[in-house]
A and B are shown apart, each in its own frame.
Chain A
């Protein structure tokens, strides 16, 4: 290995040869993180992605041809060559063409995805389910820290504070967002708890909203059996999830307004119902009163002609008869009871003994004797009186 040390410029020119020789002109994509145009007409800007950054230059001649001056944050595509700026000792991108990538590239990807998913019937109108008019259990799929959640809750507090929300949290942008959103939708749907689901997020660049165009989310929204509202970004943003949902809301707060009943409107409806009910009942009462007064008039007339006393007498008569009737009824009932009691008593075997009869049994034999022939002298017998009993021995028997 040649050990003689190179000068800096010798090294830099070697780097220049290797780098510029090795890399052809090519397209690159990145986000503009800094853009300045000099009086000289040249523009210097930096492109970056989440790991690195690259300084670029747009020479005066080319700058004029382009009709696009990027803003910081724009996602752009650029065509050019990597060159070494020897004086600065660094490489940079010599830019020939510069365009907004966001719209061009993403727009194409959006259309392609839209065609593909449309072919699967995910946007078909007959899939759409109507929203419940007065939901009380609403599922939410959005980022727990996002503005969308707060907007929805704020609208709900005002319109329908009794409505309960279950939030299935999910990242709404960045790697893995689509999978999380889709899983959250399916989890809520399968739980069967919500009557309607709102999925969405606050505003952002087309790239920020991209997760809501990705197939997993669009499929989850389309296959969701619970009525689902998609509210992604601002009014102007339309995502494929919006097309697949049962209802597209321009913004999260609009989604809350479209799903939730308005308490003030409901109160008015209640008051109106109360009023109509009250009016109907008072009408009914008035009718009843009129019906009574019409009937009472003749009675009044009787009173005028002294018949009232008869009427009242008749009423007294009736009530007296009524009282008597009741008393009679009671008496008769009491008699019947006594009669029944008496009959019962005399059936009682023991009662007969009271009248002087006695029951005779052979000793040890419970069967009472009714025929003297069954006995002969010397037999032992037991005699049961009304009170107490005796044992005796037969001296003789006779038959009459």
Chain B
């Protein structure tokens, strides 16, 4: 599983929805579903933490001529 830092929000959400579909499908074993579930929880944590992050980041680039 990618470390959360590199993971984009979009990637996390896509993987999470994949996991939910897998869990709702016929996952082979209890262990697999628990492992998937854990991964899902971690992804949710990552996404929620991003949602809550309040600090907005704005960088003003140099005016074009100096770029």
A contacts, CB < 8 Å to B? 132-134, 136, 144, 153, 156-157, 161-170, 180, 183-184, 186-188, 261, 263, 266-267, 269-270, 273-274, 276-278, 280-281, 284-285, 288
Contacts and interface: CB of A to CB of B under 8 A. Distances in A.
Contacts of B13: 134, 266, 269-270
Given A134-B10, A166-B58, 7 more contacts: A134-B13, A156-B56, A168-B63, A183-B65, A270-B16, A274-B40, A274-B44
B57 A164 contact: yes
A281 B58 contact: no
Given A165-B57, A266-B51, A273 B44 contact: yes
Contacts of A267: 48, 51
Contacts of B59: 164-167
A162 B50 contact: yes
24 contacts: A132-B10, A134-B8, A134-B13, A156-B56, A164-B58, A166-B58, A166-B60, A169-B60, A170-B64, A183-B65, A187-B67, A266-B13, A266-B47, A267-B51, A269-B13, A270-B16, A276-B20, A277-B37, A278-B37, A280-B24, A281-B37, A284-B23, A284-B30, A288-B30
A136 B8 contact: yes
B44 A167 contact: no
A146 B6 CA distance: 34
Chain B's interface size range is: 35 or more
Contacts of A184: 63-64
Nearest to B22: A280
Interface string B28-67: 0010011001001100100110110111111111011101
Given A157-B56, A187-B67, A273 B20 contact: yes
Chain B binding surface SS class: helix
A127 B63 CA distance: 28
A188 B59 CA distance: 12
Instruction: Pick the 5 closest A-B CB pairs, nearest first.
Output: A183-B64, A280-B23, A134-B10, A164-B57, A165-B58
Contacts of B63: 168-170, 180, 184
Most A C-beta atoms less than 10 A away, residue of B17, B55, B64: B64
Interface of B: 8-10, 13, 16-17, 19-20, 23-24, 27, 30, 33-34, 37, 40-41, 44, 47-48, 50-51, 53-61, 63-65, 67
A270 B20 contact: no
Given A183-B64, A281-B23, A161 B53 contact: yes
Contacts of A164: 57-59
Contacts of A284: 23, 27, 30, 33
Given A162-B50, A162-B51, A270-B44, A277 B8 contact: no
A166 B57 CA distance: 8
A193 to B, nearest CB: 9
A153 B8 contact: no
B30 to A, nearest CB: 5
B48 to A, nearest CB: 6
B23 A263 contact: no
A162 B30 CA distance: 36
A199 to B, nearest CB: 13
Contacts of B24: 276, 280
